[in-house]
Amino acid sequence: MERTWRWFGKNDKITLDMLRQIGVEGIVTALHDVPNGEVWTREKIRDLREYIESYGMRWSVVESLPVSESIKYAGDDRDRLIENYKESLKNLSLEGINTICYNFMPVLDWARTDLSHPNPNGTTNLFFSRAEFAYFDICILKRQGAEKDWQDVAAEVEKMKQTMTAEDNHKLVENIIVKTQGFVSGNIKEDDEHPVELFRQLLDLYKGITKEQLRENMKYFLNAIMPTCEEYDMYMCVHPDDPPFPILGLPRIVTSDEDIRWFLEAVDNPHNGLTFCAGSLSAGRHNDVVELARKYCSRTWFVHLRSCHVFDNGDFTEASHLGGRADLIELARIFEKEETRRSGNPNIGKLPMRVDHGMTMLGDENRGYNAGYSFLGRMFAMGQVQGIIATVDRELGKEYRQPGLW
């Protein structure tokens, strides 16, 4: 697999010069300065592509070309926004970029309650607490009907009502809807004065929308863009929902074997595929991650290698890249074989992989990195994964080469 890294553009404190020194071959990025729904021009795409290439790497994957909320809930302007999306796809292809990671998650791209949860070894990781999220939903967001969704942690929420301070509440809001979203979706920004009220307004856009309706909206979007994808050989790969279960009264439609099978069959086109995020899928105890990889590797255009540990009460945290529920060693075997099988395809012959979230360690916390996207923690994970891939390649008789070295 091609070793890639999510990089947040020229203002990222992690520089391309740093990345080429640790074995990164390809960059996963986006035009973060272009507002959602606007066309990505060839000029802006070319400028960033050439900048990446000047450091000896390629722009491997777009993560992401955001799907506007209006497309997801079928607003009046969705057809106009889809036309803009198609134009951006065309422009990316003309600049030699053919793999697009996106998601169809309403409002919230991913959710954690603690962005620096302590590990026994002194590092920290991202963490999702069901009780803390329930407290946010019931007591801060005050969403109608929230109590029904969190009955299993009701007693814990009642205890938290007695102990949570205004500062604690502010931190929870920052963790759930500000710091994890601003650099990804653009829905909520760090300088927004009233993030909770803005978040309520976004949720209201989805009132009455069921899982079936959201599925149909995704099908409508994919059917609309497939002719462009076919003409320009663009490969769409949806990211699984994170976490892989319903939250905030919002439907989730990429959470399980049944969901993946549905969207692949609903638009049965090779340009409609999957981002296999082992971390998101392993956060759901209903998912057999290795079996999912075996079933869907031939429709996987991008791989996120990380793993989650799920506690008995349903809380979960990022695990070591050598531990947790995902079994990255076996996943490497599956996807390395799949890459060999498709090696003759000019645009997807390489299967891009990134390690995704890593521990915060050795001063990462003081360097202003985006939540979950430390440098040293991800570099540590990259080293682990590169060791796995080198071992698997020897098993398979494939030549392994460490990028940047003789």
- How is 384-404 classified by DSSP, letter by letter? HHHHHHHHHHHHHT-----TT
- For 88-139, the pLDDT digits (tens) are 999 999 999 999 999 999 998 889 999 999 999 999 999 999 999 999 999 9
Q: SS3 for 147?
A: helix
Of 242, 297, 357, 393, which residue is the catalytic one? 357
Q: Strand pairing partners for 61?
A: 28
119 and 266 co-located in one domain: no
149 and 217 co-located in one domain: no
Portion of the chain with pLDDT greater than 70, in percent: 97
345 and 359 co-located in one domain: yes
- For 255-281, the pLDDT digits (tens) are 999 999 999 999 999 999 999 999 999
- For 302-335, the pLDDT digits (tens) are 999 999 999 999 999 999 999 999 999 999 999 9
Classify residue 337: in a domain, yes or no.
yes
Classify residue 146: in a domain, yes or no.
yes
Number of domains in the chain: 2
Task: Spell out a b/e string for 2-16, using b for 16 or more CB atoms within 10 Å of the CB, else e.
Answer: bbbbbbbeeebebeb
Establish whether 277 is a catalytic residue: yes
99 and 125 co-located in one domain: no
CATH of the domain at 239: 3.20.20.150
Classify residue 385: in a domain, yes or no.
yes
Classify residue 401: in a domain, yes or no.
no
Q: Give residue 368's pLDDT.
A: 84
Q: How many Å is the maximal CA-CA distance in the chain?
A: 62
315 and 178 co-located in one domain: no
- Among 204, 233, 260, the domain-final residue is 204
Of 242, 356, 364, 393, which residue is the catalytic one? 356
Q: Give residue 187's pLDDT.
A: 67
49 and 153 co-located in one domain: no
139 and 83 co-located in one domain: no
Of 12, 135, 239, 308, which residue is the catalytic one? 239
Of 304, 308, 369, 393, which residue is the catalytic one? 304
Structure tokens that stand for 358 in this block: 């890593």
CA dist 244 and 285 (Å) reads 9
- For 198-256, the pLDDT digits (tens) are 999 999 999 999 999 999 999 999 999 999 999 999 999 999 999 999 999 999 999 99
Q: Give residue 180's pLDDT.
A: 77
49 and 178 co-located in one domain: no
Classify residue 81: in a domain, yes or no.
yes
Closest CA to 206 of 220, 196, 217: 217
75 and 219 co-located in one domain: yes
pTM: 0.95
Establish whether 304 is a catalytic residue: yes
Establish whether 239 is a catalytic residue: yes
- Among 147, 179, 204, the domain-final residue is 204
Establish whether 117 is a catalytic residue: no
- For 149-189, the pLDDT digits (tens) are 999 999 999 999 999 999 999 999 999 998 777 655 556 66
Closest CA to 325 of 316, 334, 333: 316
Range of the domain at 195: 114-204
Measured at the CA of 77, the angle between CA 259 and CA 44, to 5 degrees, comes to 85
Of 277, 364, 369, 393, which residue is the catalytic one? 277
Strand bridging mode 316-318 / 308-310 = antiparallel
Contacts for 220-224 with beta carbons within 8 Å, 24 or more apart? Answer: 220/74, 220/78, 221/67, 221/71, 221/78, 221/82, 221/104, 222/263, 222/266, 222/267, 222/269, 222/272, 223/267, 224/79, 224/82, 224/86
CA dist 48 and 50 (Å) reads 6
Measured at the CA of 250, the angle between CA 116 and CA 268, to 5 degrees, comes to 105
214 and 332 co-located in one domain: yes
Q: Give residue 184's pLDDT.
A: 55
135 and 281 co-located in one domain: no
254 and 374 co-located in one domain: yes
